[in-house]
């Protein structure tokens, strides 16, 4: 581990105890989304469009309603028409993506839903809903969607960000632009200029747990909802919006969540389950099958990206020109904005233009996926940087060091960087033995780097001291990868009591203050800061009770290792247990809340080193060695920091080599299963070596930056650059599947 600042002697932060929720998860007790059953509960089934683009001419539910066991059938007509109510465009999109009104925009778009006594009855009734469609021409890629005369998904879509605004609608929702300096001058100064065009396919987050929701609605308009999501407050807000009710009427309890990676920050089933439950007067459970998960949730954008970059012979980058178009799926909102801000953010380049387009097409609406937007742009840019380094005969780490963003660099997206750790990640790779490991025939080594902002946003926490001096730490951030542990470690450090004395809890929407989603790498940073704030309020209260007990001034009392101590030792110390036992006599229960809109977000950087072996006969690429170095700021929970780093890398390796959405010419997905959409398995991979870099974020009490996302940014170019090193072909299309690599090798030898 490369630690660039001294560890200030924490007792708990940075240790590796067993996670608080671990036992339930290795014994099968943990309750995930589909594990809840209520008395009298019905099973629901969703009816989905078989067409990529069609008008809904009519829906006849009478046959379905008459089937055995059927208790409710709903369609778009059972929901308020937000468009007619003048709602915000974003809310209308959420509502019509949840259940279509007049038109379906992708294969898998929800048209109706049923609830029946058994699963089999619900499935039979779903098939009996009669829908008449008028099929419309569709567009599947950015090229098709941006072509002149392309069929339009939304008649009123006028491209935003263009001056003057276009008169005619198109499938381009918006344009983004970042520019600085003078491109011509920059390219004129360059000794080498590389220009390449890249394409990437939509890929799915691939969480193993399908979406699931159980709703129990009461006749007074209130409802209880249990669901697996990255943010139950967000689910409450979306559900209330789609149903047209007050969020206060819906209580959402977070089930354990079986992976999300961004894909469970949005709603699909929840409003349908509530409405079915209202109609049936009984609890309703909706669970997607894997086929539905692929066809109708996620994915992230397919893209086309052009990159031109120039550098001088000593490796100084002089100019960058980036053009990109990102598929949004059926509704505006691809992550092209973040792509534009992150594409060249690792480097200090004086002249650049970054231009991007958010393009709708007849595929499922894209959802956030780990550093949304950044990985595809990084694939393109980091491949070109690799080629520049080769042309100029410069070491791939050295060319990045020569241009690396540091504290004070004016980031390509605007502001100056505060203290960041990009250089340290580059050095960690260069200093690692993997960097000089010898390579065999058909083996190659690739370097790539990535940047992600990380997020802050809103969090709340409550800390209760129990009567024996243990503590309950309550937050509203679903624990998706071990965050209960980081909450408990920070609370132990603050309160000065053992980690095992702290019980971290993820509470429902009525038991703790508002928390934004578990996303944006924000929970350890922001919810952690709320926990720290609440603990500090508790400690303040404890000191005050000790001062009163001793009849001294507050400033005579310090809190040291879980006990109140008199600064002169004039009184025997009072432990947390002592104070808790007598809390009734000293002012009542000991408890504190903290809520915040997080400050001091710390940017994350990752540099990665990939060794591959390519079989020139088959084009199969095998990753044989992998190293990732990432600036965590401070690793509160190193086990789970490494887990995030390794998991991000492996998702990236899947994106690089295997994963893609394949649609037929009718716009029907051809590979909606884990058999045909192949995510990496254990036998595909080597161990993933980790180097946690710690350049503390000066704005966080423990120096946390957030670690969840940036790890997925570099892998695709790291793999591609390694393939290039191995067999001298530059891959510009993802996935770099055997057939494409073989073609590239064959073309090159022709």
* Of 175, 179, 174, residue with least CA distance to 157: 174
Task: Please pick, from the candidates 60, 102, 179, 195, the single residue that binds another protein as defined by CB under 8 A.
Answer: 179
What single DSSP character describes residue 684? G
| Interface with another protein (CB under 8 A), residue from 618, 681, 739, 749 | 681
The answer to the question of residue 369 lying near another protein (CB under 8 A) is yes
Q: Which stretch binds another protein (CB under 8 A): 32-40, 137-145, 312-320, 540-548?
A: 32-40
Sign of CA dihedral 176, 180, 186, 192: negative
Regarding 688 and contact with another protein (CB under 8 A), the answer is yes
CB of 77 to another protein, least distance (A): 31
CA–CA separation, 421 vs 404, rounded Å?
A: 10
Q: Which of 99, 194, 368, 574 binds another protein (CB under 8 A)?
A: 368
Q: Which of 463, 537, 548, 534 is nearest to 505 (CA)?
A: 463
Least Cβ distance, residue 191 to another protein (angstroms): 27
DSSP state, residue 90:
H
Taking CB under 8 A as the criterion, the residue among 1, 7, 8, 23 binding another protein is: 23
Q: Which of 533, 659, 694, 709 binds another protein (CB under 8 A)?
A: 709
Binding residue for another protein (CB under 8 A) from 685, 733, 738, 740?
685
- Pick from 1, 57, 66, 177 the residue near another protein by CB under 8 A: 177
Applying the rule CB under 8 A, the residues between 221 and 260 that interact with another protein are 256-260
Residues numbered 333-352 forming contacts with another protein, rule: CB under 8 A: 335, 337-338, 340-341
Is the separation of the CB atoms in 718 and 449 below 8 Å? no
Distances, alpha carbon 523 to alpha carbons 19, 359, 458, 531, 627, in Å: 16, 31, 10, 11, 25
Compute the distance between CA of residue 695 and CA of residue 359 in angstroms, rounded to an integer: 38
**Of the ranges 268-276, 287-295, 315-323, 491-499, which one interacts with another protein (CB under 8 A)?**
287-295
Site string for another protein, 3-22 (x = CB under 8 A): -------------x-xx-xx
- Yes or no: say if 233 and 270 are a contact pair by the CB < 8 Å rule: no
User: Min. distance of Cβ 132 from another protein in angstroms?
Assistant: 30
* Contact present, 110 and 47 (Cβ < 8 Å): yes
Phi, psi dihedrals of residue 503, rounded to the nearest 5°: -110, 110
The count of residues interacting with another protein (CB under 8 A) is: 106
Is residue 262 close enough to count as binding another protein by CB under 8 A? yes
Q: Work out which of 413, 435, 514, 550 binds another protein, going by CB under 8 A.
A: 413
Question: Which one among 76, 283, 496, 520 touches another protein, defined by CB under 8 A?
Answer: 520
Applying CB under 8 A, the span of 2-10, 394-402, 414-422, 732-740 interacting with another protein comes to: 414-422
Strand 42-48, strand 351-360: pairing = unpaired
Whole-number Cα distances in Å, 261 to 196, 208, 276, 300, 648: 30, 11, 28, 11, 9
What is the layout of strands, in order, in the sheet containing 303-311?
A: 172-180, 351-360, 317-329, 303-311, 192-200
Radius of gyration of the chain (CA): 27
β-bridge mates for residue 321, sequence order: 308, 353
Structural contact between residues 694 and 634, judged by C-beta atoms closer than 8 angstroms: yes
**Is 142:129 a contact under the CB 8 Å cutoff?**
no
Contact between 611 and another protein (CB under 8 A)?
no
Query: Does 106 contact another protein by CB under 8 A?
Result: no
Nearest to 106 by CA among 79, 151, 139, 80: 139
Q: Would you say 339 or 507 has its CB closer to another protein?
A: 339
Calculate the alpha carbon distances from 511 to 476, 514, 529 in Å.
9, 10, 19
Q: Angle, to 10 degrees, between the axis of helix 374-392 and the axis of helix 715-727?
A: 30
Q: HSE on the CB side for 617, CA within 13 Å?
A: 0
Quick check: helix, strand or coil at residue 666?
A: coil
- Name residues contacting another protein, limited to 36-55 (CB under 8 A): 37
* 57 vs 162, beta carbon nearer another protein: 162
Beta strand pairing call for 250-254 and 223-227: parallel
Using CB under 8 A, which residues numbered 144 to 173 contact another protein?
Answer: 161-163
Q: Which of residues 435-464 bind another protein (CB under 8 A)?
A: 453-457
Cβ 157 to another protein shortest distance, Å: 17
407 vs 426: CA distance, rounded Å: 15
124 is a contact residue toward another protein (CB under 8 A): no
Tell me the closest approach of the beta carbon of residue 700 to another protein, in angstroms.
11
Give the residue with the Cβ less far from another protein, 25 or 127.
25
- The yes or no reply on residue 622 touching another protein (CB under 8 A) is no
Q: How far is the CB of 640 from another protein (least distance, A)?
A: 6
Question: Is there binding between residue 683 and another protein (CB under 8 A)?
Answer: yes
Closest CB 340 distance from another protein, rounded Å = 7
Site string for another protein, 474-493 (x = CB under 8 A): ------xxx-----------
**Least spacing, CB of residue 366 vs another protein, in Å:** 10
SS3 assignment, position 595: strand
Candidates 145-153, 331-339, 495-503, 548-556: pick the segment binding another protein (CB under 8 A): 331-339
Q: Least Å distance between CB 716 and another protein? A: 15
714 binds another protein (CB under 8 A): no
Residues 50-89 binding another protein (CB under 8 A) are: none
Q: How far is the CB of 79 from another protein (least distance, A)?
A: 25
d(CA 17, CA 222): 41
Tell me the closest approach of the beta carbon of residue 290 to another protein, in angstroms. 4
Q: Rule CB under 8 A: is residue 735 a binding residue for another protein?
A: no
Q: Is residue 28 a contact point for another protein (CB under 8 A)?
A: yes
């Amino acid at each position: 581990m490369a630690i660039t600042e001294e560890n200030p002697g924490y007792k708990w932060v940075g240790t590796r105890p067993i996670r608080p929720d671990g036992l339930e998860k290795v014994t099968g007790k943990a309750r995930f989304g589909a594990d809840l059953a209520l008395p009298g509960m019905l099973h629901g089934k969703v009816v989905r469009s078989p067409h990529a683009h069609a008008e809904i001419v009519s829906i006849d539910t009478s046959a379905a309603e008459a089937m055995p066991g059927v208790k409710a059938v709903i369609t778009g007509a059972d929901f308020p028409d937000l468009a007619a109510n003048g709602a915000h465009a974003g809310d209308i999109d959420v509502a019509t993506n949840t259940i279509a009104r007049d038109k379906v925009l992708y294969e898998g778009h929800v048209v109706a839903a049923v609830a029946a006594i058994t699963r089999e009855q619900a499935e039979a009734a779903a098939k009996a809903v009669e829908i008449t469609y008028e099929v419309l021409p569709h567009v599947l890629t950015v090229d098709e969607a941006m072509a002149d005369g392309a069929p339009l998904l939304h008649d009123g879509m006028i491209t935003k960000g263009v001056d003057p605004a276009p008169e005619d609608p198109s499938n381009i929702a918006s344009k983004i632009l970042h520019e600085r300096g003078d491109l011509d001058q920059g390219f004129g100064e360059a000794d080498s200029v590389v220009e390449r065009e890249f394409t990437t396919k939509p890929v799915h987050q691939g969480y193993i747990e399908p979406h699931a929701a159980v709703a129990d609605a009461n006749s007074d308009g209130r409802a209880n909802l249990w669901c697996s999501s990255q943010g139950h407050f967000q689910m409450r807000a979306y559900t209330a919006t789609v149903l047209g009710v007050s969020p206060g009427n819906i209580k959402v309890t977070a089930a354990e969540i079986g992976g999300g990676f961004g894909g469970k920050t949005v709603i699909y089933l929840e409003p349908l389950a509530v409405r079915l439950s209202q109609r049936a007067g009984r609890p309703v459970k909706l669970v997607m099958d894997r086929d539905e998960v692929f066809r109708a949730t996620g994915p992230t954008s397919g893209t086309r990206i052009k990159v031109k970059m120039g550098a001088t012979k000593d490796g100084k980058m002089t100019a960058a020109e980036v053009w990109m178009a990102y598929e949004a799926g059926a509704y505006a909102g691809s992550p092209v904005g973040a792509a534009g801000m992150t594409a060249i953010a690792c480097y200090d380049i004086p002249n650049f233009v970054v231009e991007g387009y958010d393009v709708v097409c007849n595929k499922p609406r894209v959802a956030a996926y780990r550093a949304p937007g950044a990985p595809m742009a990084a694939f393109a840019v980091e491949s070109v940087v690799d080629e520049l380094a080769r042309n100029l005969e410069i070491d791939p780490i050295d060319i990045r060091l020569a241009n690396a963003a540091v504290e004070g660099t004016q980031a390509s997206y605007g502001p100056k960087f505060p203290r960041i750790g990009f250089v340290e990640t580059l050095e960690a790779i260069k200093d690692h033995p993997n960097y000089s490991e010898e390579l065999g025939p058909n083996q190659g080594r690739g370097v790539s780097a990535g940047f992600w902002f990380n997020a802050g946003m809103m969090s709340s926490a409550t800390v209760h001291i129990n009567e024996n001096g243990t503590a309950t730490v309550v937050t509203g951030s679903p624990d998706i990868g071990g965050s209960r542990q980081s909450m408990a470690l920070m609370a132990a450090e603050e309160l000065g009591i053992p980690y095992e004395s702290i019980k971290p809890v993820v509470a429902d929407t009525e038991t703790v203050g508002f928390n934004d989603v578990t996303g944006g790498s924000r929970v350890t940073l922001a919810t952690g800061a709320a926990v720290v704030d609440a603990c500090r309020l508790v400690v303040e209260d404890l000191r005050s009770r000790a001062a009163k007990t001793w009849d001294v001034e507050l400033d005579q009392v310090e809190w040291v290792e879980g006990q109140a101590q008199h600064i002169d030792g004039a009184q025997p110390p009072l432990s947390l247990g002592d104070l808790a036992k007598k809390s009734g006599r000293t002012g009542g229960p000991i408890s504190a809340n903290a809520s915040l809109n997080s400050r001091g977000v710390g940017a994350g950087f990752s540099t990665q080193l990939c060794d591959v072996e390519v079989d020139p006969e088959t084009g199969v690429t095998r990753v044989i060695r992998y190293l990732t170095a990432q600036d965590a700021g401070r690793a509160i929970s190193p086990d789970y920091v490494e887990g995030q780093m390794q998991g991000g890398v492996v998702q990236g390796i899947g994106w690089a080599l295997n994963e893609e959405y394949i649609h037929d010419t009718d716009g029907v997905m051809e590979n909606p299963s884990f058999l045909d959409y192949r995510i990496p398995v254990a036998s595909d991979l080597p161990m993933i070596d980790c180097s946690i870099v710690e350049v503390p974020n000066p704005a966080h009490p423990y120096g946390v930056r957030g670690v969840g996302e940036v790890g997925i940014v570099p892998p695709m170019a790291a793999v591609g650059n390694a393939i290039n090193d191995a067999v001298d072909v530059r891959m510009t299309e993802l996935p770099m599947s055997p057939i494409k690599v073989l073609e590239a090798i064959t073309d090159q030898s022709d």
